[in-house]
C-alpha cells in the first residue's frame, strides 16, 4: 500500500490507473477510523478496481470555537486498519499541501448549507465543499463514498457534484451503529462513561419519532418533534441543538407528515456535539430495494 | 465538427478522447469571436491532439447594470470561423444547462478578485471562476487558453487552478491588436466612429507608461500614472476607471518602479468599458525567450 502526501503524486497515480482503464473508488476521511469508515472502504473495494482512502483533518470545516485542535487522531491504528484491506493508496496530505500560504479560493454552497447543522456552524459546509472539490480533483474518482450519519453532508456533496459538474458518483452507505444503537463517530471518544450512557437517547428518539410518523396518529411534524424533545430531555447531561423533520433532497422543513422524510437531530452531551438521523419511508416505500432507496 | 450542448455529452466525448490517449486543448469564449480568440484556437490546435471551443455568455460574471443582455452575439459568424479550423467540437450549452433551477454553488476567489476590475465589478471574478471550474470539469482539458488582454482574469484562473488542484495547464497568449493598436475585444463593436478613434488612447497610454518606466527617470509609479492620466484625458469622450502598475503574480500595487510589472487600465468611452494592459520587463528580462516569459 502506497502512502502519498502531495497532490501531484496523487494525480500521477490516478492518471496512471485511469490510463490502464481501472476504476477508482475514493473514501475521504478525517482519520480516527471506526467501523463506519471501514464499511465505506469495503463498499469501495467491492465496486471499483482500486480504492484510495484519504486522511485529512480539514481545518476550514471547523468553526473558531470547535474541536479542530483536539479532534481524535490515531495514525497508527488507522494505517493498521487500512492496510488490512485491499487499499491501493492512502492520501495523507499536510495542511500546507491543501491550504498553502495565500490560499483564498473557496466554494460556497448556498441555501442547504445554512440549515440544520449549518445554522450553528455557518461555514462548515463551505469548508467541506472546498476540501471535497480539492480532493476530487486530486484523486479523480469514478465513485466516492460517504456515510449517511452525516446526512446533510451527503446532500451538500451531491449538490456540489451536480452543480460543479464533477464526473464522480456519490455513494451513501448506511449508518453503522454500536450494539446499543449509538451511531459510530470519531467524536464518541470524547464521551465519559456517564455521557456514553446518555448518548443512547439519540437513536432511541429517532426510532420513537419514526414510529409516531408511521403510526398515522400524528399528522403534524411539530407534535412529533415535541414528543421527541420531551424524551431526549429525560436523559441526563443532554442539551438539544435541533430536532427537525425534513425532505431528503432539499432539506426543507416539513409541516405535515409525508414520506420519505428524514428526522435529523443534533444534541450536546456535556461538551460533545453528536448528530444522528433516520430516513423514514412509508411501508410501501420501504418495500423498494435498498439500492433504489439509496438513490432517493 | 461536433456541436455539443450538454455537460454529459461533453464529458463522454472528453473521456473517449482521453481513453484514446489524445490530449485536449480548450478555448473557453463568450462568442462574438475575433482574431484574438482565433489566435487562442490556433495555439491550442498547435499544442494538442484535439481542440474544444466553448461559447457561453456567462450571466454570473456580469453585474446587475452591465451589458449581459446586449453582449455581442454572432452565432453564424462564430461557427464559420471555428469550422474553418481543425476544431473537434464546439461546446454550446444553454444557460439552464450551466445554471439549472435552484443552482447555488459558487466559487469565491478572495483577495486578487477584489482589486483592479474587481473593485468596480465585485462579483465578476467569482462568476468567472465558477463557470471556468464548471467548464473544466465538463471538458477535462490538459491545457486551456486565455488571452492576456484580460490580464487579471489570467491571474485569477491560474490561482483557481492551483488552489483547487485542477489538472489543467493555463496558457496565456499575447494580445492581438487592430492595426492602430486597439486591443481586439468583442465590446469594440459597441463603439461609434468617434469613440473608436478615441479608443486608440488606451494602447498609446500603455506605451507611454512603459517608456517612462524603462527610461529610469521616473522612480515612483505615482508620477507615471499621473502622466498617463493626463495623456488619456486629452482624448475626447473618455472617463478613467483606473490606471494601476502592479506585480504580475499577486497584482499588488507597486510604489517604486520595479520589473517585471504590468500596467493595467480600464476606461469608459461613452458607455463602453474597455480594458488593456502591457507587461513591462527590464531590457535584461526582455531578452528571455517568449515561452519563459509567459510562464512568469
Kindly determine whether residue B105 and residue A108, on different chains, have CB atoms separated by under 8 Å.
yes
Given B122, B149, B173, the domain boundary residue is: B173
CA separation for the pair A231, A225 (Å, rounded):
10
Percent of chain B with pLDDT over 90: 95
Count up the domains in chain B and report the number.
Answer: 2
Within this chain, do residues A62 and A153 fall inside the same structural domain, yes or no? yes
Which residue of A106, A162, A165, A168 is the best one to mutate when testing the B interface, meaning the one whose CB has the most B CBs within 10 A? Answer: A165
Q: What is the pLDDT of residue B287?
A: 64
The C-alpha cell that represents A165 in the structure block:
459538474
Report the residue from A19, A104, A108 with minimal CB separation from B106. A108
Give chain A positions within 8 Å (CB) of B21.
Answer: 19
Report the residue from A140, A163, A250 with minimal CB separation from B103. A163
Within this chain, do residues B198 and B151 fall inside the same structural domain, yes or no? no
Kindly determine whether residue B105 and residue A19, on different chains, have CB atoms separated by under 8 Å.
no
Confidence of residue B21 (pLDDT cuts 50, 70, 90): very high
* Residue A144 located in a structural domain: yes
| Segment A67-122, tens digit of pLDDT | 999 999 999 999 999 999 999 999 999 999 999 999 999 999 998 999 999 999 99
Within this chain, do residues A7 and A123 fall inside the same structural domain, yes or no? yes
By C-alpha distance, which of A105, A162, A6 is closest to B157? A105
A contact residues 200-239, partner B, Cβ 8 Å cutoff: none
Kindly determine whether residue A167 and residue B140, on different chains, have CB atoms separated by under 8 Å.
yes
Closest approach of chain A CAs to the CA of B8, in angstroms? Answer: 9
User: H helices within chain B, ranges in order?
Assistant: 7-19, 35-47, 75-83, 95-98, 117-120, 124-139, 151-163, 193-198, 201-215, 221-233, 283-286, 290-294
Q: What is the mean pLDDT of each run of 10 residues along chain A (296 residues)?
A: 97 96 97 98 98 98 95 98 98 98 96 94 97 98 98 98 98 98 97 97 98 94 98 97 97 96 97 97 69 46
Kindly determine whether residue B165 and residue A15, on different chains, have CB atoms separated by under 8 Å.
no
Within this chain, do residues B106 and B33 fall inside the same structural domain, yes or no? yes
With CA atoms as reference, the chain A residue closest to B130 would be A164
With CA atoms as reference, the chain A residue closest to B12 would be A167
Q: What is the pLDDT of residue A238?
A: 97
Confidence of residue B111 (pLDDT cuts 50, 70, 90): confident
* Residue B179 located in a structural domain: no
**Cα B170 from chain centroid (whole Å):** 12
Q: What is the pLDDT of residue A286?
A: 72
Percent of chain B with pLDDT over 70: 97
Report the residue from B103, B105, B110 with minimal CB separation from A105. B110
Within this chain, do residues B225 and B116 fall inside the same structural domain, yes or no? no
CA separation for the pair A196, A178 (Å, rounded):
11
Instruction: Report helix, strand or coil for A112.
Output: helix
Instruction: Report helix, strand or coil for B115.
Output: coil
Q: What is the pLDDT of residue A287?
A: 64
Report the residue from B11, B164, B250 with minimal CB separation from A134. B164
CATH number of the domain residue A200 falls in = 3.30.1300.10
Catalytic one among A34, A37, A75, A124?
A37
- Catalytic residue check, A37: yes
Within this chain, do residues A143 and A283 fall inside the same structural domain, yes or no? no
Q: What is the pLDDT of residue A111?
A: 87
Within this chain, do residues A54 and A167 fall inside the same structural domain, yes or no? yes
Cβ-Cβ pairs closer than 8 A, A with B, add up to 77
ipTM of the complex: 0.92
| Segment A206-215, tens digit of pLDDT | 999 999 999 9
Whether chain A has a CB inside 8 Å of the CB on B107: the answer is yes
Q: What is the pLDDT of residue B172?
A: 98
Is 90 exceeded by the pLDDT of residue B284? no
Kindly determine whether residue A110 and residue B106, on different chains, have CB atoms separated by under 8 Å.
yes
Who contacts B187 (Cβ-Cβ below 8 Å, separation ≥6)? B67, B72, B272, B273, B274
Closest approach of chain B CAs to the CA of A107, in angstroms? Answer: 5
Q: What is the pLDDT of residue A154?
A: 98
Catalytic one among B34, B37, B124, B207?
B37
Within this chain, do residues A169 and A190 fall inside the same structural domain, yes or no? no
Confidence of residue B288 (pLDDT cuts 50, 70, 90): low
Within this chain, do residues A93 and A200 fall inside the same structural domain, yes or no? no
B6-26 mean pLDDT: 97
Given B173, B207, B226, the domain boundary residue is: B173
Q: What is the pLDDT of residue B129?
A: 98
Q: What is the average pLDDT value for chain B, to the nearest integer?
A: 95
State the virtual CA torsion across B28, B29, B30, B34 in degrees, nearest 10: 180
Instruction: Report helix, strand or coil for B50.
Output: strand
Give chain B positions within 8 Å (CB) of A160.
Answer: 105
Within this chain, do residues B203 and B104 fall inside the same structural domain, yes or no? no
* Residue B178 located in a structural domain: no
Is 80 exceeded by the pLDDT of residue B213? yes
B contact residues 16-35, partner A, Cβ 8 Å cutoff: 18-19, 21
Q: Which domain holds residue A278?
A: 186-294
* Residue A181 located in a structural domain: no
* Residue A179 located in a structural domain: no
Within this chain, do residues A100 and A160 fall inside the same structural domain, yes or no? yes
Given A173, A201, A232, the domain boundary residue is: A173
Within this chain, do residues B149 and B253 fall inside the same structural domain, yes or no? no
By C-alpha distance, which of B235, B239, B231, B246 is closest to B277? B246
Name the region of A110 (left: φ>0; alpha: ψ -120 to 50; beta: rest): left
**pTM across the whole model:** 0.94
- Residue bearing cell 462579483: B123
Euclidean distance between the first and final Cα of chain B, in Å?
Answer: 35
* Residue A178 located in a structural domain: no
Kindly determine whether residue A105 and residue B107, on different chains, have CB atoms separated by under 8 Å.
yes
CATH number of the domain residue A38 falls in = 3.40.50.620
Kindly determine whether residue B167 and residue A15, on different chains, have CB atoms separated by under 8 Å.
yes
* Residue B181 located in a structural domain: no
Give the residue, B294 or B273, on which the prediction is more confident: B273
Q: How many CB atoms lie within 10 A of CB B73?
A: 14
By C-alpha distance, which of B161, B148, B168, B187 is closest to B40? B148
Closest approach of chain B CAs to the CA of A196, in angstroms? Answer: 38
State the virtual CA torsion across A104, A110, A112, A113 in degrees, nearest 10: 20
* Residue A273 located in a structural domain: yes
Amino acid at each position: 500500500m502506497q502512502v502519498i502526501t502531495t497532490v501531484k503524486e496523487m494525480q500521477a497515480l490516478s492518471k496512471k490507473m485511469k490510463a490502464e482503464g481501472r476504476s477508482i473508488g475514493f473514501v475521504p476521511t478525517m482519520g480516527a477510523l471506526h467501523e463506519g469508515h471501514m464499511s465505506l472502504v469495503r463498499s469501495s473495494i467491492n465496486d471499483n478496481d482500486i480504492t484510495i482512502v484519504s486522511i485529512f483533518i480539514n481545518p476550514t470545516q471547523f468553526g473558531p470555537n470547535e474541536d479542530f485542535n483536539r479532534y481524535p487522531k490515531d495514525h497508527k491504528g488507522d494505517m493498521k486498519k487500512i492496510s488490512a484491506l485491499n487499499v491501493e493508496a492512502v492520501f495523507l496530505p499536510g495542511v500546507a499541501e491543501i491550504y498553502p500560504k495565500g490560499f483564498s479560493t473557496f466554494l460556497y454552497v448556498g441555501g442547504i448549507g445554512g440549515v440544520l447543522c449549518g445554522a450553528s456552524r455557518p461555514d462548515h459546509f463551505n469548508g467541506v465543499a472546498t476540501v471535497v472539490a480539492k480532493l476530487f480533483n486530486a484523486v479523480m474518482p469514478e465513485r466516492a463514498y460517504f456515510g449517511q450519519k452525516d446526512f446533510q453532508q451527503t446532500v451538500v456533496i451531491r449538490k456540489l457534484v451536480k452543480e460543479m459538474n464533477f464526473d464522480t458518483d456519490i455513494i451513501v452507505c448506511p449508518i453503522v451503529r454500536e450494539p446499543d444503537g449509538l451511531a459510530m463517530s470519531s467524536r464518541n471518544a470524547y464521551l465519559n462513561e456517564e455521557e456514553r450512557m446518555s448518548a443512547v437517547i439519540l437513536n432511541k428518539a429517532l426510532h420513537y419519532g419514526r414510529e409516531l410518523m408511521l403510526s398515522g396518529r400524528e399528522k403534524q411534524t411539530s407534535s412529533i418533534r415535541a414528543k421527541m424533545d420531551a424524551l431526549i430531555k429525560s436523559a441526563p447531561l443532554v442539551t438539544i441543538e435541533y430536532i427537525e423533520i425534513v425532505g431528503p433532497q432539499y432539506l426543507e422543513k416539513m409541516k405535515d407528515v409525508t414520506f420519505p422524510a428524514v428526522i435529523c437531530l443534533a444534541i450536546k452531551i456535556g461538551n460533545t456535539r453528536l448528530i444522528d438521523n433516520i430516513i423514514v419511508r412509508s411501508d410501501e416505500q420501504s418495500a423498494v430495494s435498498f439500492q433504489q432507496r439509496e438513490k432517493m
